[in-house]
Amino acid sequence: MTEWKPPRLAAHIIINRHLSPAEESLESAAPGVVDADGFHRAATEIKAWPGYQPTALRQLDGLAARLKLGRIFYKDESTRFGLGAFKAVGGAYAVLRHLQDKLGGSVTASDLIAGKYRDRTKDITVCTATDGNHGKSVAWGARLFGCRAVIYIHQGVSVGREQAIAAYGADMRRIPDNYDASVRACAADAERNGWQVISDTTWDGYREIPRHVMHGYGVMMDEVLEQLPPREDLTHVFIQAGVGGLPAAVAGYLWLEQDALRPKIVVVEPEKADCHYQSSKAGKPTAVTGKLDTLMAGLACGEVSPLAWTLLDKASFAFMTVPDDAAVFAMKTLAEGIGNDPKVVGGEAGVGGLAGLIAAAIDAEARKALLLDEHSKILIIGSEGATDPVLYAQLVGRKPEEVLAA
C-alpha cells in the first residue's frame, strides 16, 4: 500500500438508546454476567500456565495522526500461547474449570498438565462449535489438561483453520450449514453422548461455562491496564463481535475497574452478520439468517449470546457494521504501518474493531456521532493474527512472516 487511500466504507451506526447511566452499577444493570471474583480467579489461573506471556500493546501513532485522533492502542493477540488468537484465554480456561468441577476436590491445573488424573480425564469429552479460534482453544485446552475434544465447524470455515484445530488432536465434524446450525448440532450430539459443551454463547439452562469463557478474556484487560502509559485514559474501545462474549467481557471488566470513568464501547460487526446491530435496532435479541458469508468468518454469527447481550445492551455506546473491504484495508494498513508504526499481522476477523474505527474516523457524520476528535484515545483488541496464513497472504499480498521480517 504505497498510498494510504481508504476505499468507500459504507459503515452503518446506531447509538444505543439503552445505555446505562454512568452512575449505575454493573450488577444493577446486568446481574450475573461477569464479576470481579471471576475475573480474578481466571487471571490467577491463566498467568500460571506454562508459556504464559503478556501480549504486546502496540501504539499506532502514525495511524492516529492520519485519522486526526489522539492515540490508538492495539492489543496484539497474535502471539497468545502460540495459538495466534485471544480465544486461548477463554475456551481452554473453561475446559479447565469443567474438569476441576468434574473431578472435585482440590485438582489444580498443574496436576492435570502433569497427567496426575489422566486415567479419569481420558474418558471425558468436551465439544464445541466454532468459526475457528474458539475451537482451537478448546482443542488445545483438552490436550493440555488430558481430555478428548470434538469440534464442530460449518461450511464457511477454511480448510486451513480446520487443519490447525485438528493438529491438537481434536475429532473434527463439519456441518453443511452456517455457524448457528453447527451450534445446534454440537448441543444435540453432546446431549446424546454425555459430552460437555464448551461454548462461548448461552441458551436456556446453559450459562456458567460461557461465563468462565468471558472471565478468561479478562486477562487481556488486566494486561492492557498495566501496559497503558501513565495518564492515558481511554475514551473509546472499538471491538468486534461474533456472539458477543469478547465485547461483553471487555465492557464488563472496564465497568468494574473504572466505573463511571469507563470508555465508550463501540461494537463492530460485518454487515453480513450483524446480529448485535439488528438487536439494538429492534430493542431485543434478533437473529440474522442466511449464509452469513462474510470474509470475517470468525465473526459470522447470526444470533447474539443472550447472556452477553444483557450486558452489551446496557454497556455499549454504539453498534456499527462494516463491509468486508474495510477489514482487508485494515489488515493492509497494519501490515504496511503508517509513518513509524510497527508492522503488525492482523487476521480478517481480528481487525474488525480497527476496520470500524477507520470507517468512522474518515466519515464526518460517523465521527461526530461517535464523539471522535483529536483528543480521543482508542483501544483496539487485535483478537487474532494470521490464523489462516494462506488466506492472509491472498488478502494482504504478503505472507505473515514477510510482514514481520520487514
Q: Hey, which residues are catalytic here?
A: 87, 131
> What is the 8-class DSSP label of residue 51?
T
The 3-state DSSP class for residue 318 equals strand
Q: Which three cell numbers stand for residue 59?
A: 501504539
The 3-state DSSP class for residue 126 equals strand
Contact between 47 and 219 (Cβ < 8 Å): yes
> What is the 8-class DSSP label of residue 321?
E
Burial tier of 213 (Cβ tally within 10 Å: 0-12, 13-18, 19+): buried
**364-368 contacts: CB < 8 A, separation 24 or more?**
366/11, 366/13, 366/320
Q: What distance, in Å, lies between the first and last C-alpha atoms of the chain?
A: 14
Q: Rounded to an integer, what distance in angstroms lies between the CA atom of residue 356 and that of residue 335?
A: 17
Q: Which three cell numbers stand for residue 242?
A: 461474533
CA dihedral 233, 238, 242, 245 (to 10 degrees): 10
**129 forms bridges with which residues in the sheet?**
152
Contact between 54 and 227 (Cβ < 8 Å): yes
Contact between 272 and 332 (Cβ < 8 Å): no
Describe the crossing of helices 133-145 and 91-103 by its angle, rounded to 10 degrees: 40
Q: Which three cell numbers stand for residue 243?
A: 456472539
Contact between 233 and 71 (Cβ < 8 Å): no
Contact between 295 and 348 (Cβ < 8 Å): yes
Pairing, β 56-59 against β 71-76: antiparallel
Burial tier of 189 (Cβ tally within 10 Å: 0-12, 13-18, 19+): middle
What are the start-end ranges of the E strands in 241-286?
264-270
The 3-state DSSP class for residue 60 equals coil
The 3-state DSSP class for residue 314 equals helix
Residue recorded with cell 481466571: 42
